[in-house]
Structure 1
């Protein structure tokens, strides 16, 4: 799969609309919030019904040190700028030996932001990029 060595015990592979955007070291924001409506039933003072209503999905942010895969994100963003189209994708959590830990089908992905690397030769920190995506749900 890759000739890179990952220092963490887990990394994340991102694919959107069939385009492999490479491996990322962190993935945050896999989550949902369910709105609850309370309904009080006349004559029943013992409890209030808790009824689920809308589900909202949190944005997902993936980060990694700059690699050759950085150009894949730039190409994908260029396609989106030309024609915004929601596409389904997948995030796969992998161990360094490529064993799949978990996978999430991500529906209706659109980019929210991409933060390219800042290069500072006076520090020993790796140049890092981050990609934030919005979506319509996980499967």
Structure 2
């Protein structure tokens, strides 16, 4: 019986056009779906054609506690007021030791939202920030071996 390692990621590293924007604790939304169109064929009441039309990509959200690297993310996001430019992004899932588990490349990335930290002296929780990215597909980034 062959043993398979389970992909348990501890952190996610985000790079936009090769610029390292730091390490994140969570990453959600990596995925896509094929949009299907239903067509009923005349004279054939027992069958509905399922036709693939396009691929839809969900937005990707990465969250982390605020750190010194947060300035790079907010600086990148603030530059958008001078105009948006589609970028490429890579997201790498790594273990605590830094071993690459998996990687995803995102084409035509456009930042959608940055949510800064909320501070509350009554609640001793880490100040968190979140960035949300829209994209138009995947390209091969890299996998750990």
Shift of 1:47: 3.0
**Secondary structure of 2:74's match?**
helix
What is the distance in 2 between the residues matched to 1:73 and 1:54? 32
Structure 1 stretch 61-70 or stretch 31-40: which is displaced more? Answer: 31-40
CA contact (8 A) 2:9 2:93 kept: no
**Secondary structure of 1:136's match?**
coil
Structure 1 stretch 89-98 or stretch 116-125: which is displaced more? Answer: 116-125
What is the distance in 2 between the residues matched to 1:40 and 1:120? 57
Match of 1:5 in 2: none
RMSD, aligned CA: 1.7
Match of 1:20 in 2: 20
Unaligned runs of 5+ in 2: 1-7, 140-145
After superposition, the Cα gap between the structure-2 partners of 1:90 and 1:9, relative to the gap in structure 1 and judged at 3 Å, is closer
Match of 1:71 in 2: 71
CA contact (8 A) 2:9 2:101 kept: no
Q: Map Cα deviations across residues 13-50 of structure 1 (whole Å, 9 max, x no partner).
A: 00011211000000011111221112344555553321
The TM-score with structure 2 as length reference comes to 0.83
The TM-score with structure 1 as length reference comes to 0.86
Unaligned runs of 5+ in 1: 1-7
What is the distance in 1 between the residues matched to 2:123 and 2:41? 63
